[in-house]
Amino acid sequence: AQSVTQLGSHVSVSEGALVLLRCNYSSSVPPYLFWYVQYPNQGLQLLLKYTSAATLVKGINGFEAEFKKSETSFHLTKPSAHMSDAAEYFCAVSEGFQKLVFGTGTRLLVSP
């Protein structure tokens, strides 16, 4: 079965600093990979997705992620954090091309 592991339940950065949220996947087939963001008291919304096209995927709000097959990783980055980026971020992998398996989430804290 497919799975994802998110390293670090909390990540703290200063405003303007690089954001790096880590995700490693386990999949027996070429995966479809996703990053979702959840703001307080809201549902999840898609940041970006990898579907076997370009390995560097650009998403909304300046986020991007790079698919690295050799490292089984799909880390999320943003060059400069903004206060509004504070939220919980979930990595997910498609299983059977019907449902998603989500990671445990990483809470991003941004300090002024």
Where along the sequence are the contacts to other proteins (CB under 8 A)? 32, 34, 41-46, 49, 51, 90, 94-102, 104-105
Residue that has been written with the tokens 């050799």 in this structure = 70
Q: Is 10 helix (H, G, I), strand (E, B) or coil?
A: strand
Q: How far is the CB of 46 from other proteins (least distance, A)?
A: 5
For the CB of residue 15, give the shortest distance to other proteins in the complex, in Å.
27
**CB closer to other proteins out of 81 and 101:** 101
> Phi, psi (5° rounding) for residue 39?
-85, 160
Please identify, using beta-carbon distances, which residue of 34 and 81 lies nearer to other proteins: 34
Give least dist CB 80 to other proteins, A: 26
Q: Toward other proteins, which CB reaches closer, 34 or 74?
A: 34
User: Would you tell me how many other CB atoms lie within 10 Å of the CB of residue 107?
Assistant: 15
DSSP string, 26-93: E-SSPPPEEEEEE-TTS-EEEEEEE-SS-SEEE-GGG-EEEEEGGGTEEEEEESS--GGG-EEEEEEE
Minimum separation from the CB atom of position 18 to other proteins (A): 26
Q: Which is nearer to other proteins, 70 or 98 (CB)?
A: 98
